[in-house]
Amino acid sequence: MRLVLFDIDGTLLLRASAEHRLALFEAIEQVWGVEDPAAVPVDAAGRTDVDIAREICLSSGVDARSFDDGLVAFRSLAAAAFARRCPGDLSAAVSPGMREVLTQLARRGRHVLALLTGNLEPVARLKLERAGLGTFFAHGLGAFGSDHEDRAALPAIARGRAGRLMGGGRWPRAATVVVGDTPRDIACARADGVGVVAIATGSFGPERLDGADAVVRSAPELLHVL
């Protein structure tokens, strides 16, 4: 069995992060009083929600201690703001062919499918539910931006959860692969010593993703490399 860890934005779903961004900004404003979080330039691709919030806050004059003190409130306010803003139907945002890929992988019975995303878990779960992909990803598996601020820490957390499911230690590295669309997805896989397939459906072309074990240009191609 192989553990396949799917990123969400730019991988499973395309162009479905506008409301998510607004929800993060709203929570940052409420918790830390940052006046115009959207005005702070942040390279957000492949980072966790908390990591993004930290950069916005610190570059807006919030001190590190106050930032840490506000994290619990931030997580719950961001999730609530997203629940309020999330479109009722995100099915049009599913990457072309991805539903069939997930169906095939689930049917083959040789893969355990899980999420690996910088989204806070309630945000991630709601996005997938509204996109009609929720049933492919069991609760209790995967790793999220609510588990750790550093994306590089997420694959090991996901292997821990999958390993417990199988009644043992961590899921083996050699039987784990990350599927993601950014150089940070590749870096997080490398940090844990697991495999990585990059998909050039997000904001990075194949030439920026050449550190992966394989690079594909569309969801259906994943079936050949997984």
Binding-site ranges for Mg ion (CB under 5 A): 7, 9-10, 181
Q: How far is the CB of 124 from Mg ion (least distance, A)?
A: 11
In the bound complex, what is the minimum distance in angstroms from residue 17's beta carbon to Mg ion? 9
Contact indicator for 8, 14 with CB cutoff of 8 Å: no
Smallest distance, Mg ion to C-beta of residue 45, A: 7
Q: What is the DSSP letter of 94?
A: B
Cβ nearer to Mg ion, comparing 181 with 192: 181
The residue of the chain with the least Cβ separation from Mg ion equals 10
Least distance (Å) between residue 7 CB and Mg ion: 4
Token match 């929570």: residue?
A: 27
Instruction: Name the DSSP class of 95.
Output: P
What's the min distance (Å) between Cβ of 10 and Mg ion?
A: 4
Burial of 70 (0-12, 13-18, 19+ CB in 10 A): buried
Which two structure tokens, joined as six digits, stand for 25?
A: 């900004």
Residue 61 CB-density burial (10 A; 0-12 exposed, 13-18 middle, 19+ buried): exposed
Nearer to Mg ion, 70 or 145 (CB): 145
Rounded Cα distance between 219 and 200, Å, is: 9
Nearer to Mg ion, 26 or 181 (CB): 181
Q: What stretches of the chain adopt beta strand conformation (E)?
A: 2-6, 111-115, 176-180, 195-199, 214-216
Q: Which is nearer to Mg ion, 176 or 201 (CB)?
A: 201
Query: In the complex with Mg ion, which residue's Cβ is closer, 161 or 184?
Result: 184
Tally the residues of the chain.
226
Minimum CB separation of residue 199 from Mg ion in Å reads 9
Give whichever of 7 and 51 is closer to Mg ion, judged by the CB atom.
7
Distances (CA, A) of 203 to 9, 159, 166, 219, 221: 10, 27, 35, 15, 18
